[in-house]
Chain A
């Protein structure tokens, strides 16, 4: 052989690098090429899902019902302490929903009343920019989606989200079945056997009920709200000028959380 051992090892090493780097290179320079070769159905094109929350029509009881409906639909456990809390939609008072807006002379109604907060499914989401595995990404229909199969639990998205919309599974959520004190808080967990739970070590948040939208159903929170008070929550497509959300936004003044950050949130509040 004309090749000495040193050169052989050099060539073998470089070949291995090229081989291993090949897929990564394809993914960097032609992103999606490999995935595209798998059969893909076009997404709900030309849509931009959004929600309008009419605070005037909501009260504490309705907000509690809505929160419960969402958490029951998605097997979100009650872990009993704020440190490990997982919440997809929740109540928050005015001062803390819109920090910096509140002034001293505001009426008691506003001071004590609550707002309903959830992931804003921003049009320019910082959380998707920072995810190193694209376990969270923005779909063409505007929904900021979660892929629990891919999430490595780095929590960069939680640091990036300016709205505190994301929760992490610090432990196994199914421990509510094993620990006495948590069993009492979650008597019929899992509450929806048609939807998975999560495992420990992944981030979760509201997904605008993507699985329900795919079946032509509205999000669980909107459905629950409509049973009590029509149009307290309005859900629809901003890209469709004739949609309910567009009509509501045209008619009433609305605000969004932290608009100055440029994330373009798609959850609007009628105050």
Chain B
């Protein structure tokens, strides 16, 4: 099936070459970081996790969202999703690969990464995160590839594939719960020390991932002759709508607890993010932008007419992605470290090399996604013919 990725129109190759250029630039910056150390990023003693870990967190959500296509198909017999489960699984693969890379570039001593395996620490959530993420990657690779292979040959895939597909459903929930546990169990970080962290992670995952999947399906329909289907996109849009409503609702619940209780530790981070604290307010316009996009997305998603119209739906999905990315990708991590354990505010902003490395990794993820989607679409076009 790989050979289908080697045949393509100019637009395909042009896009891949553009991505390769970005990957090269990111790699160059990473080599610089490898030699100089992480001091070339914006991170410091107070905000010791930043942009890289933020992307990891966001992308685990995107990866987990593959389950939103797989679950209805297998558990609820929603046959229509059978057309696009592979697209969900391949999106999960590229997202997990990016997650792994973001962890890698964030390590101070990446050459020692095997220490996690050589000295297993079952009490550490990071250990379990590594296990569940890698297993999920293997699950999706195995199931997605075999399902597509079977489709190409016109046969049903075997029992092993089906069993693993069933396993991947609770597994998807687990990867994002475990990632939430990285944050939700730390006694000194009050913005994160909340039981609803896992629920917020899952709800934001299940709106941002399918939103991205919808956009990808619309693009696939535009540039190839494979149509993921109007009904499929409609159902997905319903999932995005409910998940986004839950996501915003959970956020409002957090706001209530913080501001009705008036406990400073609970309020401070929200004040920092939305109003500025001790003169530091770099994130304030970003958070309000996220709020604006969240409101736009909710309106467009809840009103049936705009949800059913695929153009306004595309705007809604893009709004969801922007809003959740800012909230989870910037607000969550920087907010968790602010104020610091001494109740002081330290500014953090990613530096240019940090951003370039991030772009390079995203480019690599999109490269993998493009190649996998090319294979999937080619096979589906072949089958139809």
Residues of A within 8 A of B (CB): 23-24, 27-28, 82-86, 92, 95-97, 99-100, 126, 129-135, 150-156, 158-164, 167-172, 200-203, 258, 261-263
Task: Kindly state the interface size class of chain B when it binds its partner.
Answer: 35 or more
A164 x B340 contact (CB < 8 A) = yes
- The answer to whether B124 and A152 have CB atoms under 8 Å apart is no
Verify A130–B186 contact, CB threshold 8 A.
Answer: yes
Give every chain A residue within 8 A of B38 (Cβ-Cβ).
Answer: 153, 168, 170-171, 201
- CB-contacts of B1-50 with A (<8 A): 36-39, 43-46, 48-49
Counting CB contacts under 8 A, is B83 at the interface?
no
Q: Are A153 and B108 in contact (CB under 8 A)?
A: yes
| Complex contact A159–B45 (CB within 8 A) | no
The one of B39, B46, B119, B130 that contacts A171, using a Cβ cutoff of 8 Å: B39
Tell me the complex Cα distance, A251–B305, Å.
75
When A and B form their complex, what is the total count of cross-chain residue pairs whose Cβ atoms lie within 8 Å?
152
How far, in Å, is B164 (CB) from chain A's closest CB?
16
| B121 lies within 8 A of A132 (CB) | yes
B112 CB within 8 Å of chain A: yes
Main secondary structure of the interface of A (DSSP, over half): loop
Distance in angstroms from A14 CB to nearest chain B CB is 14
Residues of B within 8 A of A161 (CB): 188, 341
B186 close to A160 (CB less than 8 A): yes
- What are the residues of chain B within 8 A of A152 when measuring CB–CB? 107-110, 112-113, 115-116
Q: Which of B49, B265, B342 contacts A97 (CB 8 A)?
A: B342
Contact indicator B109/A201 (Cβ below 8 Å):
yes
Contact B124 A132 (CB under 8 A): yes
17 CB contacts below 8 A, A to B, read A84-B45, A85-B44, A86-B45, A95-B343, A130-B125, A130-B186, A132-B127, A135-B115, A152-B112, A153-B109, A154-B126, A156-B126, A170-B44, A171-B36, A171-B39, A258-B188, A261-B188
Q: Specify which chain B residues have a CB less than 8 angstroms from the CB of A261 in the assembled complex.
A: 187-188
Interface contact B124-A130, CB-CB below 8 Å? yes
B280 within 8 A of A: no
Q: Which residues of B contact A163 (CB under 8 A)?
A: 188, 341
Q: Are A84 and B120 in contact (CB under 8 A)?
A: no
A201 x B108 contact (CB < 8 A):
yes
Closest to B42 in A: A83
Q: Which residues of B contact A154 (CB under 8 A)?
A: 103, 106-108, 126
Complex CA distance for A130 and B336, rounded to whole angstroms: 17
- In the complex the two chains form, is A131's CB within 8 Å of B124's CB? yes
Any A CB within 8 A of the CB of B170: no
Q: Which of A97, A132, A158, A159 interacts with B116 by CB under 8 Å?
A: A132
Taking a contact as CB atoms under 8 Å apart, the answer to whether A263 and B115 are in contact is no
CB neighbours of A129 from chain B (8 A): 123-124
B243 nearest CB across to chain A (Å): 27
Residues of B within 8 A of A131 (CB): 121, 124
- Tell me which residues across on chain A come within 8 A of B229, comparing CB atoms: none
Contacts of B122 in A (CB 8 A): 28
Pick the contact of B48 from A92, A95, A155 — CB < 8 Å?
Answer: A155
Do A162 and B108 touch across chains, with their CB atoms under 8 A apart?
Answer: no
CA distance A201 to B346 in the complex (A): 21
Nearest CB in chain B: distance from A234 CB, A: 24
Known contacts A152-B116, A164-B342, A200-B108, A126 near B188 by CB under 8 Å: yes
